[in-house]
Amino acid sequence: MNRTQSAIDPSLIVWNISTIALTTLAIGLATLFLITILIDKKSKKIPIMVLVANSCLSSIVFGIDMLVCFLIALNNDLKEIRTEDSLCKFRAYVAYSACGVFDYSFFIQALYRYNTIIHPKRTNCQSLQNQLVIIVLTWILGFLFPSVFLFTTEIVYNVDNQICQIPLRVSISTIYLSFCIYLIPLLLITGMYLKLIRHVKHKRIRTIQTRKFIRAH
C-alpha cells in the first residue's frame, strides 16, 4: 500500500485499531493465565504448569512489544510520519527474541513430556529446579541469537509497514534467523512428539501381545 499519499486511508486506521485491540486481548488472556498459575500454590510446584507459565510470559513480552509497534504505527499514520524513531530497531530485536523464546517454550514442554513418559525413573530430569534452569537458558539463547543484528545494518525501517525488520528476502541473515527462531524449535518439537507416538504405539502392541500370551496359557 502506498503511504506517500497526503490523505489518510481510513481502512489503514481501522486495520491498525483492529490489530491493537486483538493484540491487547491476547496479552490480557495470557496475563490472566499467568496470574492464575502464579496465585495457585499447587500449580507453582508442578513443573508442567511452570512451563506453561513460561509460554504465557514469553507471549506477553512479545505481545507488548508488538502492541507498542502497532501504537506507534497508528500514531505515524495519523500524523503522516514516515521516519523511524530511535527505538525502532531495538523493538525489532525484542520481537525476534521473544518469538524465539516463545517457540522454544513449547520445545521444553515436549521435552518434559518425553522424559516423564519414556524415562519416568529419571526424576532429576523432571524436577522443578531443572525445568527452571532450562527456562533461563532458553531466555538467554532466545535473546542471544538476534543480538548480532543490533551491531549491523541488517535491521532496516520498512516505511510501508511502519516497522523495523530484516528484509524478507533470501539472505544469510534471513536463513540464520529462520533456523534459530523457527525451524530448530519446530524440528525439535516434531521429533519429540514423533518419538512419543512411536513409544505409545510400541507399548500398546506389547500390551496386546502380553494379553494374548496370558489368554493362550
Q: What is the DSSP string of 160-193?
A: TTTEEE--SSSSHHHHHHIIIIIIHHHHHHHHHH
DSSP-based three-state secondary structure for 163 = strand
How many C-beta neighbours within 10 Å does residue 81 have?
Answer: 13
103, 165, 168, 108 alpha-carbon torsion, rounded to 10°: -10
Q: Which amino acid is at 128?
A: L
pLDDT for res 1: 41
Task: Decide if 176 contacts 154 (C-beta within 8 A).
Answer: no
Q: How far apart are CA 66 and CA 214, in angstroms?
A: 60
Residue with more model confidence, 209 or 10: 10
Task: Decide if 108 contacts 134 (C-beta within 8 A).
Answer: yes
Which of left, alpha, beta for 158 (phi over 0: left; psi -120 to 50: alpha)?
beta
How many C-beta neighbours within 10 Å does residue 27 have?
Answer: 18
Q: For residue range 77-127, what is the model confidence (pLDDT) as tens digits?
A: 888 888 889 899 999 999 999 999 999 999 999 999 999 988 888 888 788
Spell out the domains of the chain, with CATH numbers in brackets.
Answer: 10-216 (1.20.1070.10)
Give the C-alpha distances (Å, rounded to integers) separating 65 from 87, 98, 204.
11, 9, 46
Q: Could you give phi then psi for residue 38, rounded to 5 degrees? A: -70, -35
Averaged pLDDT for residues 194-214: 78
Most confident of 66-70, 114-118, 121-125, 168-172: 66-70
- The residue among 71, 57, 58 whose CA lies nearest residue 24 is 71
pLDDT bin (cut points 50, 70, 90) of residue 4 is: very low
Averaged pLDDT for residues 173-181: 92
Task: Decide if 174 contacts 166 (C-beta within 8 A).
Answer: yes
pLDDT bin (cut points 50, 70, 90) of residue 5 is: very low
Q: Which amino acid is at 106?
A: F
Q: How far apart are CA 7 and CA 41, in angstroms?
A: 55
Task: Decide if 170 contacts 164 (C-beta within 8 A).
Answer: no
Helix (H) or strand (E) holding 156: strand 156-158
